[in-house]
Structure 1
Amino acid sequence: MPANGIAPATYLFAARALRDFGDGFVAVLLPVYLLALGFSPLQVGIIATASLLGSALLTIAVGFLGARHDLRQLLLAAASLMAATGVAMSVVHDYALLLVVAFAGTVNPSAGSVSVFVPLEHAALTRAMADAERTKMFARYSLIGALASAVGALAAAVPDITAPVGLDRLTAIKMMFVLYALAGVAGGLLYARIPRRRAAPGPVEESALGPSRAIVFKLAALFSLDAFAGGFVVQSLLALWLFERFDLSLSAAGVFFFWSGVLSALSFPVAAWLSRKVGLINTMVFTHIPSSIALMLAAFAPTLPLALSLLLIRAALSQMDVPTRSSYVMAVVTEAERAAAASFTSVPRSLAAAASPALAGVLFAASYRAWPLVVCGALKIVYDLLLLMQFRHLKPPEER
């Protein structure tokens, strides 16, 4: 990375760590909190859908604003929204108001990269990167986020161990949402240190999609299928499945999601290494398919240890497409199109991911608890095969 890109990247990495730490424990605590307030699994799924739909619409706004406004200011606004969301979640009990907070705020039930922050950070990071370093940079970015998310998942057990200090479980969960708000404030302080700079220099129209429009639209459609599939098993709903299927405790769930996050994190540098050997598309496809098979098998596992083992195998493989996917999108479009491409491929993903948690909630309510995992795995395999067929011949610059 060029010297003038080192400091901004460091701040972005640190802010990503804080945000994903908060997302890590919120994704596990969200269903517990909503159930404790007296809401049903179907209502939990609707809250998850509302949050993902709101993120999608915010990302659409970022797509229009990113070419016209300083990325630093947009990131500061997003961090402020995160702080406000944490405070609101800690004090609101009415279901209708919680829907509004989930829709308008930054609650992330997936504990993953479906977030208004992502296209802004991608554009800010990529502009200082050489082609040869791009995938490694995205691997580091994803690694830091995944490790922070894993620690956050472990922190989700805090409400179960607060009885000795006099806090009941519900109050402790509310305090965790306050901690989420504080992570947003700290992230804003880091974003404030990024130099002011437009996402793409020159007239606004130069930042719009041009020669790469067809490529971006095809990728966006395929990524939407992948995200729609993933929405059936966002982390909050996977936690709900474990709670209801095996009566897993909150402390045990926190430990499981910690190790799941660690395995995902360790897979990112492996993905960067593997992509240099077999290519970005092959890395995405041939690590994704086995992970989907493991998820489908977990749906029918008769015992908790077997289910957790299969889910850990899935965790070790399923996220290897994250840095490679980000790198591939940035590689196959022109420099002037990168900010727009990041947004146009994120928005359909967010919209598609928003639709499926409510459907999963319906299946949970109807006692078809295994079906969300099966549907997720099957659709992801279809996505992988289509991606391979459509893009195996379109190579990024470093592979030509």
Structure 2
Amino acid sequence: MSISTKPPPVATGTGISRLYLARGLRGFGDGFAIIILPAYMTAHGFDAVAVGIVATASLFGTALLTLVTGLIAPRHDMRALMLVGAGLMVLTGIAFPNVEHLALISLVGFVGTINPSAGDLGMLVPLEHAMLARSASDRERTRVFARYSLIGSLSAAAGSLASSLPDFLGSAGIDNVSALRWMFYAYAALGLASAVLYSGLPRAHAEEKRHAPLAASRSMVYRLAALFCIDSFAGGFIAQSLLVLWLFERFDLSLSAAGVFFFWSSTLSAFSYPVAAWLAKRIGLVNTMVFTHIPSSVFLILAAFAPNLYVALGLLLLRAALSQMDVPTRTSYVMAVVTPAERPAAASVTTVPRSLASAVSPVIAGALLATSFSGLPLILCGGLKIVYDLALLFTFRHIKPPEEQL
């Protein structure tokens, strides 16, 4: 089975560059925002339960806004919706440092753009995906998404390092709360800069306005979303905070060493994206997703039995070099096998359930970490991901994107 979906391009190479730069700005802001938010709340006397409430509100708000955006995008100008998203980013950065009651902070988290997870979620994601897919040729689409993911990961890593800026400002005589407030204002400034970039894009509707958000490809998109939920549910067992906790408790890893490890882990993941694009041209998108993911899951399972810290970190770094290669290929595949009118909806419908599924498993993982064998979350994650990979291969191996028909 094959589907050809290529419409006339809606943006030039300059338009793609604007989307790349906007992705970098957003990634940099998200990189420090998800770290300074709990620090800001703690500085105001809130406990871990309150931080969890705000994180949950942000996660569900992000999912809802992403879903709504994907459903309404076919009937509206995508550039206008991007400007709305950038405006929300500005308002989020202004609102957070000016509210102190938990209910108001939770409300800002729900309607705002700060994403408490490490993945790229939010209303701008399906819009950028759809615009990029229409702006690139079939042969270049996967490479375009690989660069998009690379820029996002590297900018988020840089943003994480920038979260230490309040400590430096403190040494200059600025109190900690004020320094954190200025970081939120910097987040708002990044939203404003993103709006400027989006304003230079051409106007673009997903396709004919009378079309339903999901029509011909509805069944296929729902099947993909269901499989992606399994993958995200599995990933929640080793959310970054839980993996850090496991390394702390199992090997007594120091905080500074953990920071260095996760920086390099993120860097390896980022540079795996262009490799994924190169590989996809040779063995196909689905094969690239599956045959890089399975070895990464095996490395994760082996790490649960590692006899010492160095072996564990080595296995986890090997996993990091492979585990994210399905990110650009997965996005490219979804954009390729649906019609142009369905792309925004397909992006949101396959993204939102992942965020919701990944919010369930950390609670279970926390309980498993307290058992006599703390490596159980790693084993469950690896095992479920292998099941997902095999199911994906079995279900979609015959559905080819346009470039694999040539």
TM over 0.5: yes
TM-score (norm 2): 0.86
Number of aligned residues: 397
* Preserved contact between residue 10 and residue 134 of structure 2 (Cα < 8 Å): no
**Structure 1 residue runs without a partner (length 5+):** none
> Which residue matches 1:273?
278
- Go from structure 1 to structure 2 and tell me whether the alpha carbon gap of 1:306 and 1:152 turns closer, same or farther (over 3 Å shift): farther
Once the two structures are superposed, what CA deviation does each residue of 1:49-82 show, in whole Å capped at 9, x if it has no partner? 3322111100121022201111111111111112
Aligned amino acid, residue 133 of structure 2? T
CA deviation vs aligned residue, 1:283-310 (integer Å, no higher than 9, x gap): 1112122323334444565765554443
Root-mean-square deviation over aligned CA pairs: 3.0
Find the partner of 1:12 among 2, 12, 19.
19
| Match runs of 1:1-400 below 5 Å | 4-35=11-42, 37-39=44-46, 41=48, 43-200=50-207, 202-205=208-211, 207-235=212-240, 238=243, 246=252, 248-249=254-255, 252-298=257-303, 305-357=310-362, 359-360=364-365, 372-400=377-405
- The verdict on how the C-alpha distance between 1:318 and 1:222 changes in structure 2, with shifts beyond 3 A counting, is same
Alpha-carbon distance between aligned partners in 1 of 2:303 and 2:179, rounded to the nearest angstrom:
31
SS at match of 1:119: helix
Work out whether residues 206 and 342 of structure 2, in 8 Å CA contact, stay in contact via their aligned partners in 1. Answer: no
Percent of aligned positions that are identical = 58
CA shift, 1:322, in A, is: 0.7
Q: SS of the counterpart of 1:388?
A: helix
Contact 2:9 2:135 in 1 (8 A): yes
1:279, 1:311 → 2: CA distance?
A: 26
Judged with a 3 Å threshold, the aligned counterparts in structure 2 of structure 1 residues 354 and 117 are, in CA distance, closer, same or farther, namely: farther
Distance change >3 Å, CA 164–CA 208, structure 1 → 2: closer
State the one-letter code of the partner of 1:383: Y
Whichever residue aligns with residue 65 of structure 1, its letter is I
Inter-partner Cα distance in structure 2 for 1:160 and 1:298? 34
Amino acid at match of 1:19: R
Give 1 or 2 for the bigger CA radius of gyration.
Answer: 2
Distance 1:92 1:306 in 2: 46
Task: Output the CA distance in 1 between the equivalents of 2:329 and 2:18.
Answer: 22
Give the Cα–Cα distance (whole angstroms) in 2 for the partners of residues 358 and 89 of structure 1: 27
Give the Cα–Cα distance (whole angstroms) in 2 for the partners of residues 55 and 238 of structure 1. Answer: 24
Moved more, 167-176 or 71-80: 167-176
The verdict on how the C-alpha distance between 1:179 and 1:247 changes in structure 2, with shifts beyond 3 A counting, is farther
Q: Deviations over 1:311-344 (max 9, x none)?
A: 3323221111011001111121223322322222
| TM-superposition CA deviations, 1:70-98 (whole Å, max 9, x none) | 11111111111122222333344443333
CA change 1:194–1:248 in 2 (3 A) is farther
SS at match of 2:135: coil
1:120 Cα deviation from its structure 2 partner: 0.6
Report the 3-state secondary structure (helix = DSSP H, G, I; strand = E; otherwise coil) of the residue aligned with 2:292: helix
Kindly state the Cα deviation for residue 39 of structure 1 after the two structures are TM-superposed: 4.9
Q: Distance in 2 between matches of 1:112 and 1:191?
A: 22
- Give the letter for the 1:203 counterpart: K
Distance 1:221 1:348, change over 3 A: same
Q: Report how far residue 376 of structure 1 moved.
A: 3.2
Q: Is the 8 A contact 2:16 2:135 kept in 1?
A: no
**Partners in 2 of 1:328 and 1:273 — Cα distance?**
15
- TM-score normalised per structure 1: 0.87
Q: CA deviation at 1:168?
A: 4.5
Q: What SS is found at the alignment partner of 2:141?
A: helix
* Shift, 1:388, TM fit: 1.4
